[in-house]
Amino acid sequence: MKTVFTSMRLWWATPVVGIAGALIASSLNWPLPWIIGSMLAVILVRCLGWRVGEIPYGRLTGQWMIATSIGLHFTPVVLEQIVGHFAMMLFAAFLTLCLALLGIEFMRHRGMDLTTAFFAFMPANFSEMIQLGIRHKANVSQIAAAHSVRLVLIVLCVPPAMFFTARISPTAVHARLPSDWYWLLPLLIGGALTAMIWKRCKLPNPWMFGPMALCALFTASFNLQTALPVQLSHYGQLMIGCALGGYFDRQFFRASPTFLLKVSLFTLAMIGCTLVLALGIGYWLGFPVMTLALGMMPGSSTEMYLTAEALNLGVGIVTAMQIMRLVVVMLCAEPVHKAWLKHLRR
Residue 2 pLDDT: 47
Residues 6+ positions from 2 with CB-CB distance below 8 Å: none
Report residue 177's pLDDT band, with 50, 70 and 90 as the boundaries. Answer: confident
- Res 5 pLDDT > 70: no
Q: How far apart are CA 135 and CA 137, in angstroms?
A: 6
pTM: 0.91
Angle at 329 (CA atoms; ends 337, 243), nearest 5 degrees: 110
Q: How many whole angstroms separate alpha carbon 191 and alpha carbon 331?
A: 25
Long-range contacts of 248-253 (CB under 8 A, 24+ apart): 248/43, 248/46, 248/47, 248/148, 248/152, 249/46, 249/47, 249/51, 250/46, 250/47, 250/49, 252/145, 252/148, 253/47
The enclosing H or E element of 217 equals: helix 206-222
Count CB neighbours of 75 within 10 A: 17
Which pLDDT does position 124 carry in this prediction?
87
Averaged pLDDT for residues 260-268: 93
In whole numbers, what is the pLDDT of the chain averaged over residues?
A: 91
Indicate whether 1 pLDDT > 70.
no
Average pLDDT of 134-163?
Answer: 91
Which domains does the chain carry? 2-169+177-345 (1.20.1530)
| pLDDT tens-digit series, residues 203-225 | 888 999 999 999 999 999 999 99
Read off the pLDDT of residues 69-110 as tens digits, 9 standing for 90 and up.
999 999 999 999 999 999 999 999 999 999 999 999 999 988
Rounded Cα–Cα distance for residues 36 and 25 (Å):
8
Q: Is the pLDDT of residue 181 over 50?
A: yes
